[in-house]
Structure formats: C-alpha cells, structure tokens
C-alpha cells in the first residue's frame, strides 16, 4: 500500500487544497521535476504520496536543474494562466494569488498588475519607487520577446524543494504561467543548497538570457512583498531597496 502524507487545515478556504492539487498535476510533465503526487483532495485536506528526505548531493542538484528546465519548457498559454482545470485564483502561502483569466500583453504588464500592485495595496504601501517600477514594467523595459510563458512552480523557495533518493520532488506550489527566472529567483531568496550546481545544469538544457543574474532581484520583489503583507517591517525595507535598483 502506498504510504501517504496528509496536510490538513480545518479553516482553509474551500479552494485552498483543490488549487494546490491542480498545480501539482499541471507541473507533473514527462522528464520534468517530479512532484508530490496528489492522491486525494478535499476542502480541508490534501493527501499525497509520502516522500522520504535525504541530504542534498551534487548529482541530485544537477538532475534537479536539468529537470526544472524541462518543466518550465512545458510552457503555459499565457502569463498568469492558472493550472489546467482551474478557473479561479490561487494562493501563495496563506494569502491569495491572482490569476489572469484572459491573456495579458506582456510579462511586464502581468508582473506589475498581478504580482506587485495587489500586494502593495494589501500592505498599504504607497511609495513612488514602486509605482515608477510598475510603469517601467508596463512599458516593456524588462520584457524578452524571445521567451514564452513558462510552466512555473511559483513559490519555489528551498522549503518546497524536497530532496529524495529518487531525485528532487516539488511540493506546495503556487503554479501558474510565469517567467522561468521567477522560480530561479525564489530558489536563491532563502538559500537552496548547491544552487550554483542547479543553475549550471539548468543553463545546459535551456540557456538563460543575458542579464538574468541582474534580474533575479526584480523577480524577488513579489515574494518579498508577500512577506511584507504577512510580516511587515524588514521585508518592506528589503523590497524597497531592491526596487530602487530598477
């Protein structure tokens, strides 16, 4: 019998676990990063296959990097699109994550209006530096016409990367159509073991665009604003400092 892991939250919104399960299924692409397979879902709990953690190794890190590029390359219909089979918004951690039901014109428009401004409003942040950045994003300053929307995890901090003997598995997604650099930025934000091995292996499968390391901090703004909504102070200061660079 398959060993099971059950996540439960009696006060969860009705769509909290169903959208997570939809995201896991959407991310499970051939030769991509394996996911914690959803076995059963209800409004108050999600059951997945049990995974046993092992220490990170160079070999696991390189395999993860190559597979993550394949997952991203599976693509998405447009920026902000929810996982297949899902029509509503999602969640990042415990707070709402807006999805785009209709295609947006560009990644910059999507990022400004669905990833920065909603959390600036939620945290009651009114700083010119963020509005100037959002205007630059909408104007296409950071868009890359050569790259299409990717199939991203959306909350890929180190705690959602589970190292197992069978390779890295992904858990707890906020999956949507986004920019591949967003997942890479999240991996670096709170420190993934052997990150440089992961990035080099990723770049072998899908070479990253010029300037991607500089843009990492741009992509880190969204999770920092999420943390500012949840926890305030230090995260807002960090986000403000990053925004001034762009």
For Cα atoms 97, 215, 93, give the angle at the middle one, nearest 5 degrees: 25
For residue 15, which of 97, 103, 115, 100 has the smallest C-alpha distance? 97
239 occurs within a structural domain: yes
Distance CA 153, CA 158 (A): 12
92 occurs within a structural domain: yes
Confirm if 226 and 95 have CB atoms less than 8 A apart.
yes
Distance CA 236, CA 36 (A): 32
Domain that holds residue 148: 52-244
pLDDT tens series, the chain, 246 aa: 678 999 999 999 999 999 999 999 999 999 999 999 999 999 999 999 999 999 999 999 999 999 999 999 999 999 999 999 999 999 999 999 999 999 998 999 999 999 999 999 999 999 999 999 999 999 999 999 888 999 999 999 999 999 999 999 999 999 999 999 999 999 999 899 999 999 999 999 999 999 999 999 999 999 999 999 999 889 999 999 999 999
DSSP 3-state of 95: strand
61 occurs within a structural domain: yes
7 occurs within a structural domain: no
The total of structural domains in the chain comes to 1
What residue has token string 């993550």?
A: 68
Assign residue 212 the CATH number of its domain. 3.90.1200.10
94 occurs within a structural domain: yes
129 occurs within a structural domain: yes
36 occurs within a structural domain: no
Strand partners for 45: 8, 42
30 occurs within a structural domain: no
The pLDDT value given to residue 22: 98
């Amino acid at each position: 019998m398959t060993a099971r892991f059950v996540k439960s939250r009696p006060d969860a919104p009705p769509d909290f676990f169903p959208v997570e399960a939809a995201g896991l299924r959407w991310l499970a692409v051939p030769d991509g990063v394996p996911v914690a397979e959803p076995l059963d879902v209800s409004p108050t709990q999600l059951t997945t296959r049990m995974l046993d953690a092992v220490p990170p190794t160079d070999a696991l890190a390189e395999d993860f990097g190559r597979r993550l590029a394949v997952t991203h390359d599976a693509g998405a219909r447009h920026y902000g699109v929810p996982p297949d089979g899902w029509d509503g918004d999602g969640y990042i951690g415990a707070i709402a994550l807006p999805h785009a039901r209709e295609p947006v014109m560009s990644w910059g428009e999507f990022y400004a209006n669905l990833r920065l401004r909603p959390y600036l409003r939620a945290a009651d942040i009114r700083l010119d530096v963020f509005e100037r950045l959002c205007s630059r994003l909408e104007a296409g300053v950071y868009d890359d016409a050569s790259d299409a929307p990717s199939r991203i995890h959306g909350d890929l901090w180190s705690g959602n990367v589970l190292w197992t003997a069978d390779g890295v598995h992904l858990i707890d997604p906020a999956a949507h159509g986004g920019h591949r650099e967003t997942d890479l930025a999240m991996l670096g934000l709170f420190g993934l073991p052997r990150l440089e091995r992961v990035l080099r292996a990723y770049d072998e499968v899908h070479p990253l665009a010029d300037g991607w390391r500089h843009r990492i901090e741009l992509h880190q703004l969204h999770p920092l604003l999420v943390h500012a909504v949840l926890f305030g102070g230090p995260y807002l200061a960090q986000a403000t400092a990053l925004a001034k660079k762009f």
